[in-house]
Structure 1
Amino acid sequence: MKLYTDAGNFQALKIFISAEIAKEKLEFQEVKHEAWVVPYMSSHKLPVLEVYPEKFIFSSNAAARLILARSVTEENPSAVDQWLDWESACLLPAVFPYLQSVIVQGKMDESLVQGIQKFLAFLDGELKGKEMLTGSQLTVADVAVWSTLFPVFMGKSALPGYQSHFPILLTWFTKLANQGEFDRVSQAMCKGGDTSYLKGSLTIQPAPLRVAETANQKEAVQKQTSKAKEDTTQAAPEKIVASPEEIEAATLAWLKGKKLCPEPLKRVHPVLPEKGRRNILITSALPYVNNVPHLGNIIGCVLSADVFSRFSEGKNWLLDWRMRAGWLAGWLAGWRAGGISFYYYDYYYYYYYYFYDYFDYLTYHYYYYYYYYYY
């Protein structure tokens, strides 16, 4: 696998850290900030992981998860899904403009600070009583969230007062930062924690889409992270005991069920009503527009009736939608040609007949019966 990224792209931290944890040998190529690596994308976007030649993953979370899956088996993948979705849809869109304001423009926007603080408060509450985001296991969710928060907690771009406001979150962040894999990658990208190195990438890379977080999204994350605990506390389902009659009926159906089934009915033409049976005639109109079949009516009326009748063939149900419009068109054509002539009638009759026979809209016997009836 080969990673393409520009210098100072903090989203590449996710992929590099995952490769370090998984001991995965990752080929790396640094490209220009505006490089267009994926030819079929509508805009340039980095980082990009080339899994196979010309096969790319341009989601940093998906790329990190693919690499880390080689060494880490997720105990609660549903919770990991929720956290990755939250990070990409809520946290990252709040962090990115803050970093652009502080690192690129050199000013701190209070509204952007408040936008991040609300997500940090949520994280601080979720980490209470847990070692990692999904429990006790380190997953790609921790890697993704830590990587996005790295420039928020380090260097000149550090959020003011975060140490005192979010102590639980700070403990989790510091614990991961002291691990070798996280420390080596972060030092390689920002030596000494100097986040100004990210300026070039932040200037060029497109900002992630901002998605408004709702209460339902927060509840979904909370439910997923506590799912494992709920499963262990649920009572065992009540044992259902079958009665002797039900057991006997099931045994008989298993041993002799095929013999007891009725034989498939042979469809004999012509299909006529049978005494003592429920005989149903299915009809469907085919209106014309200026003597031309209307496609909407063909699909909506004729074909739907045809499919339903084929499904019901074993019940002696008959589809007969008769070419009234086709007969009328032939009759009028013959009249306009100089009188009601069987020659002209037959000519226009077969014109319609072969048209519908080509599309398999009719069966031969239906059409001939109709022809002789009017003939």
Structure 2
Amino acid sequence: MMEINGQPSPEKLKVLLACFETGLHKIKVNSKPGSALSVKLDNEIEFTSSNAAVRYTYETQGVKVDTDTLHWFEWEVTTLRKHVGSYCSLSDKKILNINEFPNLISSLQYLENSINSGKLECDFSNKISAANCVVFCTISPLFCDPAIDGVFPVLRKHFDIFMNRGSFRSAWKEVTGGEGRVAFQAYFAATKTQWKETKPTNSTEASKPTEQNNSSKDVVSKEEIETAKKSWDSCNVKTTKPRVHPVLPKEGEKNILITSALPYVNNVPHLGNIIGCVLSADVFSRYCRLRGWNVLYICGTDEYGTATETKAAQEGVTPKEICDKYHKIHSEVYEWFSIGFDYFGRTTTECQTTIAQDIFWHLHRNNHLIKQTVEQLYCGRCERFLADRFVEGTCPLCAFEDARGDQCDKCGKLINAVELKNPKCKMCSDTPTIRTSEHLFVDLSKLEPKLRSCLQDSFKGEGWSNNAKTITETWLRDGLKPRCITRDLKWGTPVPLEGFTDKVFYVWFDAPIGYLSITANYTDEWELWWKNPKNVQLYNFMAKDNVPFHSVVFPSCLLGTDDEYTIVNHLNATEYLNYEEGKFSKSRGVGVFGDHASKTNIDSDIWRFYLLSMRPEGQDTHFSWSDFLLKNNSELLNNLGNFINRSLKFVSNAYGGVVPDPVVNNTDLELLALVNRELRDYVTDMDKLKIRDNLRRILSISRLGNQYLQENQPWKLIKGSNDDKSRASTVTSIAANLSSLLSILIHPYMPQTSSNIQDQLNIQGGYLIPDAITRMLSSGHKINKPSPLFRKLEESEIEEYKAKYRGREDGKKEVPKVEVEVGDSKGLEEEVVKQGNLVRELKTAKAEKLEIEREVSKLLELKKKLSLLKGEEPVQKKKGKKKKK
């Protein structure tokens, strides 16, 4: 199955060629002008990097991507691609003089020399290598241009052989439709600001008009040049105000209240959990502070419910002890990831009981609650009513076999547990029976008009993700129905109404109230945030499965009180982040969890960067170790880190660490204007919560900086005439100030890296994001000693982590073989206990049915051996009850 959508581009060409070469035919490629590439391969693994997708296709066929190949991957991303783009974005159906593109000539000469020396092996007689696939697809638009003919004979010879391979011809035709280089023109035109390239100039040549300079005037307007000059000369640097706790709303200021979905307390969060709520919210809260807004970021652990009771029973402790244990684990994980909560609390507090019961009584007095006798599933073996999420079976609406008792993950519809077909208790796999119990419901149908009116205003907010709107609108389209808010459980907020005091509140009534109670534990003046809709903007961050409870159920309950509660203005939901070829699974040892990441030799900022670059904003994405390595080594190390380090090292080595005096010319102002474009788009995208794609703005600025240094080469100019030395000072000063700007823009994504850059720059931080780049580092400013920001990740290191967190090759948790000596009843008893715990873990984790059955069989065999060893008849199982003898 092949599906190729969007603009033709060399990036699509290389992915398709790799698939043809390796025989991988399940592929979906899509991109739009200005949007990131999206590649889905094989079993729906998604990549946003074409080189990572190429690597994956080759490795799935057993082709080792070695260090030499990775060198070509990185060089293509950081050097070749932009120089090819600089030519193709300007040539537009006319022939340009290739000699006007010295950097492109240098890159092609490097390729030709590498082929001659054997550094790049080009034997196309059998298979096209991964390196050849990446490099030759990138230069393919060039070699359709007559201007290239005769200039690089070795490259031309090998390209002609490459082009005549059947796999390349097929890929070329599929991507370009047989139109040749013209088919790529829309792609290069849409992205031409990324490719701008000018001839190296010195101060004498800068004022001379050249063909290239004239071309660049079509890119940067006169108004942009004037704005850049005005801002640069103003030296207008604004700083943040001191932050004093408790943070409270202020009249006349933009007050932002941020919450991320409360992580459930009974397990360690994995990478998908982290990017889905707390990390995304952290990025936005840090950004808000850089805009000078008054912001409060609240979160905490969700601790009530059946899952906690069950986990406590498994570990032989009380629910409170489970909550204490895992609240600490969550806190430590988020602290390591530099998640900057203003307050991280929990729901098992007196404030939670007080506020939840107060909202309940308001709903009761306003006649928004009704009593209904309901049928519930009861597990005889577990001797309890089953909470919705502890029942699984076949969805009655779409026939999905792994639906939960409250919602089907496939069709997204809410269901009642008793409606499931073939229901099973998630804990013991027995078939539950139906019993009746009287419960309280909030009548959402009566509150629907109020909710619709509220959402009509709320939907105007920029922060609503498409999936959040769609899910909410689907609920409203189908019409709201009464929703049960009580449960027959022990561990939860008690229901205070006579006749229901033996029940607790249902988690999806109770848990969102945790935002209020956690704020109340932070400050006694919590109502200034939560009962102040005219002066507070509320942003919610979560995964898509939590949306209806935050956009429909919780707002309806607040509206039903008739109090002036702050209702959600922006709800941003992610899709799911999966792991490599499958899903995260604690029981099977698959995937990286929060406590794992902290034990690697990879800094938390690198984890943050990669997770945010893979943030599943429009569709599910997959964590990939290969892509992790590539993004670190190419985008961080060779692009961002390389620019900042070489800029500051030159200040240190050539000017004794003192920022020199700049005398800017038109070429410099063009660069500053292009930076201002990226800066403007950075703010626009972040306001709309386009967090993932906005990383491109930062990397584009550092890429412009690298190109600027390479074009001007201040290390050569400083050895020349007085004019050359003056030019070197200007270039050095601008590069250092670009580094200062990048230290601000990178802060929401990589706060420790931001702090490191600012320490090296010897600035105190706390700068607001400027409207346009200005001189943050004045002439004479003394910087500290620079040092590299990032390190290269080695393939051997990544392979080690990949093996460590993949679980068994079949995706199942490794179970040690049981070897017990005859007569060793104590050892066998211990193995029975271990195997029994494993079975419970697998059931709780919703492992595959065959896997559970296999481990249950092992458990029964162990029990049989133990019975025989003790001289007893083996225990028989029948209908979930032990047969007594």
- Which protein has the larger Cα radius of gyration, Structure 1 or Structure 2? 1
Determine which structure has the larger helix proportion and give its number.
1
TM-score grouping bracket, smaller chain normalisation: 0.3 to 0.5
